Amino acid sequence: MSAPSKFRFVSSDRRVREDRRFVVGKGRFAADIVPAGLKHVALVTCPHPAAQIVSIDKSAALAMPGVHYVLDGAELAQATNPLAAGLDTPNVPRRPLAVDVARYAGEWVAAVVADTRALAEDAAEAVAVDYDPLPFVLDGEAAYRGGVLVHEAHGTNVLLDRTFVWGEVDKDFAASPHTLRHQVKWGRSATVPIETFVVTAQWDPWREMLDIWASIQMPKYPDQAAMALKLPMSSVRVHYDVDVGGSYGVKRGIKHTVLVGYLARRLGMPVRLVEDRLENMRGGDMHGPERNFDVEVGFDDQGIIRSMRMRALDNVGAYAGRSPFQLGKPVGAIVGPYRIKSVQYQAIAVLTNKTVQEAVRAFGQSPTNYAIERTVDEVANRLGLDRLEVRRRNMIRREEFPYLIPSGSTYDSGDYHTVIDKVLAHAGYEDMLAERGRLRAQGMLAGIGIAACLEPSGGNSSFEPLLNPKVGTTTWMDSCRISVDLVGSITATMHTTSAGQGHETLVGTVVGEVLEVDPEAVRVVRADSLNSLPSNSPVGSRMAIMLGGAAFHAAQKIKDKLIAIAAHDLGVPAERLTYKDGGVFDPSAPDKKRTWTELVTVAHRYIHRLPPGMEPGLSVSHIMPVPGGGGLPTADGRVQMYPCYSFEFHLMLVAIDPDLGKPEIRRYVIGHDCGTVINPKIVRGMTMGGIAHGIGAALYEEFAYSQDGLLMAQNFMDYLLPSAHEVPPVEIVHHETPSPLTVFGQKGSGESGYLGAPAAVASAVNDALRPLGIVVNSLPMKVTRLGDAIAAAREGKAAT
């Protein structure tokens, strides 16, 4: 980082422009948009994990003052199309309100519209629903075996069960002197946003326009809403100019939007739904993966892993959303940073009577990284080798990039060994080992956690055709429009919402870099969906690459146009001209120059001086494909998933009081390589937040269910987010291995920290527990579970 930068603004530690409005409490969120006459929705939800809806009596609710409507699932289903599903599962229809059968506790059964939210809640209580409870299934493995069916018409609980074989798996196992097989579990948690989902809809019958303000981070939101509402997409206008108070995948809200959009049209009133925390956690369909892994590896005496078999069964809850694809994305980094020659991967998604799963930060990659890293630790332990050394031996070396992995993705670049060396040097690894020894001598359990993993970035959608052959969508574009107005101000337009990722800073920095102007002077705005260029959304760690790339290319087009105008105006060939600080000049004849203002004036006012055929004005667009594009998978399921691969290496020290089982993180160091960093503050914020989130997933957060099928963690007293007390100071060690595929060499960092923190914490806790001869392979490793496991081990009972 100390080397002189080849950039002017990129990589410099500039402020994040969005921070100001958030710090002073002046963000403008969806709930801040209040159309006149706004009405409020409250939901009637099913109290059973599965139930036949026998009858719904709305009369008492409708008789209450201030109540406008009670909507049930039958009416809504009549008027709308089912919500889009990722897989080809026509017999698993998903709708905003249950029709005839409710399939999880908290599922929406009816919606009440009233003058205020409080009145709507009063009326929701007065809606009398008669339920006939049905048998239910909660456990993913039990659902996979059969028995109770969540959707009778589907004939099975299995949404997806596919086994891929890449390379000579059986042969490589046969040739391996050692094998190791174990099960590891990732518990059900999520990204839990501070702002719950919010959507406001207003229908204007005279313009035939449905205006929507929503707290979204969803690709394909306007089109899915329009299709479900049976409206032309040109009649749905989604306003992207709202701040989103946290998301990391979960702010999809398509069912909320179809419900509210329908009500707004049906009633001719603006209607809003603001989820409360209970609705968010129980019925907001925002739970993340709940995944059982069965991993087997074949390896030699040196700890070189030759082949891996992985079975991953994900409990996706009661309906088929997009979530089964979270088993597909990890295909693009299925061997982690290691040279594993062959892989067998079985991906299973099953339905159960739990809340529906949605996309969560890293889209399924973090659980898989955890499973791989737990396995590498155990390989080292089995052979009595150092865990770091085993990783070093297996890792892809710098000179081997670009590196093709068995499942068909090529890693763009990396320098894993150097990052590890830098982290060890920074952390004082020998001192950490000594500290572990001191703690152990004091009677504490102490362990060092190690995790190395990748963050695939750039966000293709190749997992869609991989897991659903009927889908041909392999990638998504992102775009930027830049206008220089007639007085010379620059406005860049982006075409999605942001949930705190600092995209305005990103675009300003990139445009400033290319046009050599102060980034602060570049206005960045968001279009609405009808004014938008085709764009996706901030998913798949893609925006530095994709929005940054689109802004770069759009700014280049502006620059090229300015040079062309100057060339024509000066009567000099464009090749002879140089662009500098907004002006254009001929280095061989310094008086031959045009300033920014002169060029802008020609473009906007002195159109007769433009090159023949050139469009007047200075407005350009760039729609950018993912570098390398998207490709269809081969028949055996090999595909280039994402283009760029960031690397992270976690090193940490945990101490556990053996009597209490309470882990305490004493030290946390991460080495992070996401290529060229565009804004260091943003990357740092992403990484710190990701580590906090990962610590939560490893130790605290779990959507636990009771045996009778009810969600027990449905508020912040029971769903435990780590607080500032639990998250330690994090030391970040930077390394930059530029990507050859992107405009500045940048890679993604939107999910950084979270990719490896759960694996690192699990590694540390298990290193601490090793002297007791026990292994804990289930997340979250809650205090009391660790306490009980340690007590059992000390009493000489069977290991957990």
Structure tokens at 736: 């930059």
Q: Which residue type sits at 443? A: G
The answer to whether residue 115 forms part of the interface with other proteins (CB under 8 A) is no
The set of long-range contacts for 277-280, using a CB threshold of 8 Å and a minimum separation of 24, is 277/196, 277/714, 277/715, 277/716, 278/106, 278/714, 278/715, 279/43, 279/45, 279/106, 279/196, 280/192, 280/196, 280/197
Which residues have CB under 8 Å from 425's CB, separation 6+?
none
Among 78, 725, 796, 798, binds other proteins (CB under 8 A): 725
* Nearer CB in complex with other proteins: 118/607: 118
* Nearer CB in complex with other proteins: 518/788: 788
* Interior/surface letters 539-548, b for 16+ CB within 10 angstroms, e for the rest: bbbbbbbbbb
* Nearer CB in complex with other proteins: 20/797: 797
Shortest CB 407 distance to other proteins, Å: 38
**Which range binds other proteins by CB under 8 A, 241-249, 603-611, 685-693, 698-706?**
698-706
Cα four-point dihedral sign 765, 767, 768, 771: positive
3-state secondary structure 344-395: EEEEEEEECCCCCECCCCCCCHHHHHHHHHHHHHHHHHHHCCCHHHHHHHHE
* Of 332, 414, 460, 300, residue with least CA distance to 648: 414
* Nearer CB in complex with other proteins: 321/722: 722
Dihedral, CA of residue 217, residue 222, residue 223 and residue 228, to nearest 10: 100
**Which range binds other proteins by CB under 8 A, 80-88, 472-480, 633-641, 723-731?**
723-731
The answer to whether residue 717 forms part of the interface with other proteins (CB under 8 A) is yes
Q: Which residue type sits at 223? A: D
* Nearer CB in complex with other proteins: 141/718: 718
Phi and psi angles of residue 389, each rounded to the nearest 5 degrees, phi first: -65, -40
Shortest CB 772 distance to other proteins, Å: 15
Number of chain positions touching other proteins (CB under 8 A): 31
**Which range binds other proteins by CB under 8 A, 2-10, 400-408, 533-541, 699-707?**
699-707
* Nearer CB in complex with other proteins: 19/726: 726
* Nearer CB in complex with other proteins: 234/784: 784
* Of 408, 414, 375, 371, residue with least CA distance to 391: 375
Among 123, 236, 340, 720, binds other proteins (CB under 8 A): 720
Which residues have CB under 8 Å from 497's CB, separation 6+?
216, 217, 240, 242, 243, 244, 526, 537, 538
Site string for other proteins, 626-665 (x = CB under 8 A): ---------------------------------xxxx---
Please count the other Cβ atoms lying within 10 Å of the Cβ belonging to residue 583.
17
Which H or E run contains 451? strand 445-457
* Nearer CB in complex with other proteins: 424/654: 654
Angle, helix 757-769 to helix 783-794, in steps of 10 degrees: 20
Among 122, 172, 478, 673, binds other proteins (CB under 8 A): 122
Shortest CB 780 distance to other proteins, Å: 10
* Of 157, 115, 120, 112, residue with least CA distance to 137: 157
Of 175-194, binders to other proteins (CB under 8 A) are none
Among 700, 703, 744, 754, binds other proteins (CB under 8 A): 700
Among 117, 417, 604, 666, binds other proteins (CB under 8 A): 117
* Nearer CB in complex with other proteins: 671/722: 722
Q: Which residue type sits at 53? A: I
Among 54, 63, 118, 128, binds other proteins (CB under 8 A): 118
Instruction: Note the Cα 403 to chain centre separation in Å.
Output: 25
**Which range binds other proteins by CB under 8 A, 222-230, 513-521, 668-676, 716-724?**
716-724
The answer to whether residue 5 forms part of the interface with other proteins (CB under 8 A) is no
* Of 673, 675, 700, 676, residue with least CA distance to 756: 673
Among 726, 738, 772, 778, binds other proteins (CB under 8 A): 726
- Concatenating the DSSP letter of every residue in 258-272 gives HHHHHHHHHHTS-EE
* Nearer CB in complex with other proteins: 85/119: 119
Of 423-462, binders to other proteins (CB under 8 A) are none
Shortest CB 242 distance to other proteins, Å: 22
Of 507-566, binders to other proteins (CB under 8 A) are none
* Nearer CB in complex with other proteins: 174/712: 712
**Which range binds other proteins by CB under 8 A, 120-128, 262-270, 289-297, 524-532?**
120-128
115 dihedral zone (left: phi>0; alpha: psi -120 to 50; beta): alpha
* CB distance 666 to 655 below 8 Å: yes
Shortest CB 285 distance to other proteins, Å: 19
**Which range binds other proteins by CB under 8 A, 51-59, 172-180, 343-351, 717-725?**
717-725
From residue 561, give the alpha-carbon distance in Å to each of 494, 579, 582: 21, 11, 12
* Nearer CB in complex with other proteins: 589/712: 712
* Nearer CB in complex with other proteins: 152/659: 659
Which H or E run contains 564? helix 543-570
Cis peptide, bond prior to residue 780, ω within 30 of zero: yes
* CB distance 458 to 546 below 8 Å: yes
Given the structure tokens 């010379």, which residue do they identify?
A: 488
Rounded Cα distance between 40 and 33, Å, is 13
Which residues does residue 482 pair with via DSSP β-bridges, in sequence order? 492, 620
* Nearer CB in complex with other proteins: 376/654: 654
Shortest CB 61 distance to other proteins, Å: 14
Site string for other proteins, 757-786 (x = CB under 8 A): -------------------------xxx--
Rounded Cα distance between 486 and 670, Å, is 48
Shortest CB 659 distance to other proteins, Å: 4
Which residues does residue 619 pair with via DSSP β-bridges, in sequence order? 483
Count how many residues are written for the chain: 800
Shortest CB 657 distance to other proteins, Å: 9
Among 723, 740, 797, 799, binds other proteins (CB under 8 A): 723
Among 241, 581, 615, 788, binds other proteins (CB under 8 A): 788
The answer to whether residue 198 forms part of the interface with other proteins (CB under 8 A) is no
| Burial grade of 580 (CB within 10 A; 0-12, 13-18, 19 or more) | exposed
Which residues have CB under 8 Å from 567's CB, separation 6+?
573, 574, 576, 577, 584, 611
Among 722, 750, 753, 756, binds other proteins (CB under 8 A): 722
Shortest CB 42 distance to other proteins, Å: 8
Among 715, 740, 771, 797, binds other proteins (CB under 8 A): 715
The answer to whether residue 25 forms part of the interface with other proteins (CB under 8 A) is no
Q: If DSSP codes are grouped into helix, strand and coil, which group holds residue 211?
A: strand
* Nearer CB in complex with other proteins: 52/723: 723
* Nearer CB in complex with other proteins: 386/718: 718
Of 265-284, binders to other proteins (CB under 8 A) are 276-278
The answer to whether residue 666 forms part of the interface with other proteins (CB under 8 A) is no
Q: Which residues bind other proteins (CB under 8 A)?
A: 117-118, 121-122, 125, 276-278, 659-662, 699-700, 704, 712-713, 715, 717-718, 720, 722-723, 725-726, 782-784, 787-788, 791
